Amino acid sequence: MIKRWLFNARSFAVPQNLMPSILTVVLALGVPGFNIWLGILAVVGVCMVHLGGNLLDDYFDWQDELLSYREELRKEGEQAFTDKYPYLRDGSTTVPQLRRAIMVFFGIAALCGLVIWIARDFDMWLVCIAAVAFLLCYFYSAPPLKLGFHGLGELVIGVCFGPCLLCGVYESACGGLYTEETGFAWHILALGCAIGMFVTNILYTHSFVERHVDDVSHKKTLAVLLKTDAAGLAVYALFLFVPFLLVLLCVLMGYIHWAYAFVFLMLPQACWLMWAMIMFAKKVEVPAEHPHRWLGPMDNWAQIEPENRYYLLRWYTMRNINTGFCFILAVVKIILTCCA
């Protein structure tokens, strides 16, 4: 049962927030007030919010019957990703069961947050961060706001799983986001913005390659609102390359050690992905049968339908860039801590 619901909630996407969460706990190492158990609890809570949010998105997409638009376009010979809520379509899961699963995931997240809040002496920073993240996550697809249908979905997810995630987990792990002695931890906010842009681009990858489908289904994503390929690709490049510049800026301003600049090792993957997105806009096929190993893991690639690989090749690559970026930052922090 648990394994089935983890699959339904697209647990393969968890690395996009699991690695940033683990990174944040690592960044809190050595900070006064650090508590590894509260940090781990925050990581669990973030993952539960992500999984619950994925199911919540499926729930409202099912209500709006968005898959029917994709299937019609596929019949007309258009590229359209159709692997949406298969567990509802095949009858293996009912809508009431889906609602209960959503409540369970969010309930576990709330319990984690409550324990942390009590342990941190009812820290109001945690309340503010959690409230903003939950409201944005919920109204991403829920009425009446349905932010994802009005060009704000990508930015909402970026804020939730970027600045909110890093600031919230950091505050949970060490309670040191702001202290009178050190002031505000600007490097955490800056790295949160960098990772938030990557997370935004993970979703924006889907929005860009599926913009014609979303337009037909009246879902006004950011890519749909931008209209032209040139504008869409310019925004994609912004989300893809600015994070590297933010790390460089933090190094130059003395917020972080120069060794964190090793994240530039992920730049070749970013350049390849930018090229692949340009090729998509030009309607030039990029070989997807055997992806380059240096692009990172492509989960269960052999089992993925060939007609869906055009999208998942780019999606996995963007996810892997985010994961690799976080992994390098974490390794650098651990080495610097051990050498201190």
Residue 34 burial by Cβ neighbours in a 10 Å radius (0-12, 13-18, 19+)? middle
Over 70: is that where the pLDDT of 64 sits?
no
Tell which residue, 201, 24, 51, has the closest CA to residue 129: 24
More confident residue, 244 or 140: 244
CB-side neighbour CA atoms (13 Å) of 43: 20
Residue 242's pLDDT band (cuts 50, 70, 90): very high
What DSSP state is assigned to residue 80? -
Integer Cα distance of 147 and 159 in angstroms: 13
Least confident range from 32-36, 61-65, 66-70: namely 66-70
Over 80: is that where the pLDDT of 156 sits?
yes
Over 70: is that where the pLDDT of 258 sits?
yes
Every domain of the chain and the residues it spans: 2-339
Over 90: is that where the pLDDT of 206 sits?
no
Q: Among all chains, which residue has been given the structure tokens 């089992």?
A: 303
**Mean of the pLDDT values across residues 216-236?**
85
Residue 73's pLDDT band (cuts 50, 70, 90): very low
Over 90: is that where the pLDDT of 194 sits?
yes
Q: What is the pLDDT of residue 28?
A: 95
56, 70, 142 from 60: Cα distances, Å = 6, 16, 7
Q: Among all chains, which residue has been given the structure tokens 């089935």?
A: 4
Integer Cα distance of 11 and 112 in angstroms: 19
**Mean of the pLDDT values across residues 47-70?**
76
Q: Report helix, strand or coil for 253.
A: coil
Q: What is the pLDDT of residue 165?
A: 95
Q: What is the pLDDT of residue 76?
A: 43
Q: What is the pLDDT of residue 88?
A: 74
Over 80: is that where the pLDDT of 142 sits?
yes
SS (H, E, C) 121-184: CCCHHHHHHHHHHHHHHHCCCCCCCCHHHECCHHHHHHHHHHHHHHHHHHHHHHCCCEECCCEE
Q: What is the pLDDT of residue 60?
A: 81
**Mean of the pLDDT values across residues 54-82?**
60
**Mean of the pLDDT values across residues 316-321?**
94
Q: What is the pLDDT of residue 263?
A: 97
100-123 residue pLDDT tens: 999 999 999 999 999 999 999 999
The mean predicted confidence, pLDDT, of the chain is: 87
Q: What is the pLDDT of residue 75?
A: 47
Residue 218's pLDDT band (cuts 50, 70, 90): low
Residue 84's pLDDT band (cuts 50, 70, 90): low
Query: In this prediction, what percent of the chain has a pLDDT beyond 70?
Result: 91
Integer Cα distance of 157 and 57 in angstroms: 12
> One-letter amino acid identity for 23?
L
